Chains A and B, each alone.
Chain A
C-alpha cells in the first residue's frame, strides 16, 4: 500500500455514499447503465489504479486497489470497476496501454471457447461464452483465446459481437457473447504466457475476496442496527438470547473475513500471495455461507423483500462466493498441497504464511 491509500479510500467512500444509491442499484439491475456513478468513477481516476502514470494510469499499488474495492463491495456498487481494473492490469502485463473506459474480460477458464485462426493480414476470431461480466455495457471486451500454437489476447469492440443479457444471483450483468469470424489486425493480437494469465486469475480471486469482505462488513452493520430498531414482546430484539447468538456468530464470521482481507491487502504488495489468496477465498466464502442465512433470519420478512437494502448485499454474496472458485475448489487445491508436503512440513507451512 502507498500513501495515496487513505485519500483513495476516503474519496471512494464519498462517491459511494453520494452515487451508489438504492435507486441506482435497482435501475442498473434492470438494465440501465449507471451513467453518473461511472462518470465520477472515471473522472476520479479509479479505473486505472495500480497502473503506472507512464502507462496512462493513476498510480498506486495493487494493495491500494484492493482496499478501494472493499469499499465498492460494501456499497454493492453496480459498476464494472473490478472487471475494468482486472482487464487493465492484464493489458499492462502484456505491454498495452490502460483505458479509463469500462472494460471487461472473458474468463481464463474459457480460453478454449475462443479460437484465433490465421488469415491474411491478421486473425479471424470465433467463439462464445455465456458468462462475460457487463459485456452489454462496456466499451471493450478483452478476449482470451487460443490459436493452434498459443494463447492470444485481443480487445474486441462489443458492437461487433452478438450479446444477450444475463445476470448472476446478485443481479449483475453476466452476458452471453458470441463472436463470428471477426477479422482482427495482426498488430492487435498479442500472445500471453500461462504465468501472466494465472497471475491475473489470482488477482481476480483477490478482488472477489475484497468485495466480499466489504459486503460482510455491511451485512453485520445492517443486522446489528436492525436488532436495535425492531421491537417485539415489548423490547428490542437484541435483548433475546437467541438473537444475541446469531449476532455473535455473524460477528465472528465477518471479523474473520475482515482480518483475512486485511492480511491479504498487506501481503499483495510485498509477498507472493497465491496461497493467501486461495485461503482467503475459502475464509470469506465460508463466512458468506454462514452469515447470509443469519442476516435473513434476524431481519424477518422485511429483509426478504425487494424494498429492503439487505438483499443487495446478500444476493451479491451468494453470487460472488461462486465466482473465482468456490470454497471446495480452492480447499481441494490447498488440501492437496498440504497433504503432499507431508505431516512434518505442515506447521512450518502455516508459520511461513506470515
Chain B
C-alpha cells in the first residue's frame, strides 16, 4: 500500500497547526480592521497590492523558494495550507497570484541565475506581478497554433503579435510570453516555441482593457509591436517553450483555487439556513460538504506527489475538472435553497446575495481558464486508455 496520503495528511495536521493558526489570526485581524470583505473568486477578482505586500512581508509569497532568492524554503504543503486558508477566507490575493504560483516556479527551474536573483526576491516581497501570455485571438485551446513571432536581431529578439485574455496585465509588471521562434512545423507542432520575459512597460507594448460581463476590468489584450527583448530575458532554451510551460501544468490545475472559488458563498449559505434548516437543506449541504472533503483530499494527494518529484498530470486534470464543477454547484444549490435577489450592485443586498451574484457571474470562467473542461476530459481519457 502506498502511504502517501497518510504522510501528507499527518504533516498537514502536525507540522502546520501553528502555521495555519498564524494565517487565521492574520486574516481575523485584517477582517477586523476592515481591510477586505470576503469575496468569491478572490484569486481572480480580489486585487489589492497592499494586501499582497503584507503577505510578502510575512513570507507567504514565494514561500517554497530558497531563502537566497527571497523565499522561505518551506514545503509545497506549507504553501498549500497558506493558500487554502486565504482562499477559504475570500481574501484579495489576485495581484501576486500568478507570479507566486507559476512564474516564479518557472524561473526557479529554467531561469538563469541572473534572472532568479533579479525577479524572485521582488515577487516574494509581494510587489512584482506577472501575467500569463499564452492565448491569442486565433489560438485558445489549440495553443500550439499560436502566431506571435520573435525574430532574431543583434543582442536579442523582436516580438510582434498579440496576446489575449491576459489576466491582470493592466497592473502587472511582466509577462511570460510563449512565442514562435521558428516557423510552424506540422510534424512537430510543439516545437519552435520559446518563453520570454516581457517587461510590460517596454516601448511597443500596448495593454488594451477587455471588460468582463460584470463590467469588471480583469483581462486584457496585450499588443506587441516590434518589442525588443534582450537575450538575457529568454527563459530556458529557445525552442523548448512548450515543454517548459507544460511542466507547470500539474501545479496550475490541482491547487485549492480549483475548488474553493465559491467557498465564501457556502459560508454565507450556512449562515442563512442555520435559522431554520429543513431536511432538504441538510441533505444538500451534506452533499456539498462531502464533495469538498474529497476534492481537498485529491488536491492534497497531488501536492504530495509533486513534492516527491512526480508529475501526476491525470490526477491534476481530475481535480480541476471535478473542482470547477463543484464551484458551480455551490452557486446552483445556494440559489435553489434560498430564494433571494442576488446582486453585486444593489445597496441593500445581503452578504449572501452579493456572494451568490459573484459566484454566478464569475462561474463561466471556472471551467474555461487553465484549460477548458472539454480539453481536460480529452487528456484524462487518453491517460485512462493508455494505462
Taking Cβ atoms with an 8 Å cutoff, the residues of B that contact A are 1-3, 5-6, 9-10, 12-13, 20, 84, 88-89, 263, 266-268, 270-271, 273-274, 277, 279, 281-287, 289-294, 296-298, 301, 314-315, 318, 321-322, 374, 376-378, 380-382, 384-385, 387
In the complex, which residues of chain A have a beta carbon less than 8 angstroms from the beta carbon of B281? 335, 339
B378 near A241 with CB under 8 A, answer yes
Contact of A92 with B by CB under 8 A: no
What are 23 A-B pairs with beta-carbon distances under 8 A?
A5-B1, A220-B384, A224-B384, A224-B385, A224-B387, A245-B374, A247-B384, A247-B385, A248-B381, A251-B381, A263-B9, A286-B287, A330-B286, A331-B282, A331-B284, A331-B287, A336-B286, A339-B270, A343-B267, A351-B12, A351-B84, A353-B293, A354-B12
B5 near A266 with CB under 8 A, answer yes
- Given contacts A227-B385, A335-B286, A347-B263, 13 further A-B pairs with CB under 8 A are A247-B384, A266-B5, A279-B289, A331-B290, A334-B286, A335-B285, A339-B270, A339-B281, A343-B268, A346-B266, A347-B89, A353-B293, A354-B9
A277 to chain B, nearest CB (A): 11
In the complex, which residues of chain A have a beta carbon less than 8 angstroms from the beta carbon of B298? 255-256, 259
Given contacts A266-B9, A332-B279, A350-B293, contact A338 B384 (CB under 8 A): no
Tell me which of B89, B296, B321, B385 contacts A252 (CB under 8 A).
B321
Docked CA distance A343–B277 (Å): 13
A245 to chain B, nearest CB (A): 5
Q: Which residue of B lies closest to A244 (CB)?
A: B381
Contact of A249 with B by CB under 8 A: yes
A247 near B273 with CB under 8 A, answer no
Tell me which of B270, B273, B377 contacts A244 (CB under 8 A).
B377
Main SS of the interface on chain A?
Answer: helix
Contact of A72 with B by CB under 8 A: no
Docked CA distance A213–B6 (Å): 18
B334 to chain A, nearest CB (A): 13
Contact of A150 with B by CB under 8 A: no
A259 near B282 with CB under 8 A, answer no
Number of A residues whose C-beta is below 8 Å from B? Answer: 52
A255 to chain B, nearest CB (A): 5
B301 to chain A, nearest CB (A): 6
Q: Which residue of A lies closest to B290 (CB)?
A: A282
A346 near B5 with CB under 8 A, answer no
* Contact flags A301-326 to B (C-beta < 8 A → 1, else 0): 00000000000000000000000000
Docked CA distance A260–B300 (Å): 12
Given contacts A248-B380, A350-B296, contact A338 B285 (CB under 8 A): yes
Tell me which of A67, A249, A282 contacts B286 (CB under 8 A).
A282
In the complex, which residues of chain B have a beta carbon less than 8 angstroms from the beta carbon of A256? 294, 298, 322
A100 to chain B, nearest CB (A): 25
Q: Which residue of A lies closest to B7 (CB)?
A: A266
Name the residue in A1, A6, A251, A262 with the highest tally of chain B Cβ atoms < 10 Å from its Cβ.
A251
In the complex, which residues of chain B have a beta carbon less than 8 angstroms from the beta carbon of A234? none
Tell me which of B6, B263, B283 contacts A328 (CB under 8 A).
B283
In the complex, which residues of chain A have a beta carbon less than 8 angstroms from the beta carbon of B380? 244, 247-248, 251-252
Contact of A95 with B by CB under 8 A: no
In the complex, which residues of chain A have a beta carbon less than 8 angstroms from the beta carbon of B1? 1, 5-6, 9, 67, 265
* Contact flags A42-53 to B (C-beta < 8 A → 1, else 0): 000000000000
Q: Name the interface residues of A251-289: CB closer than 8 Å to any CB of B.
A: 251-252, 255-256, 259-260, 262-263, 265-266, 278-279, 282-283, 286
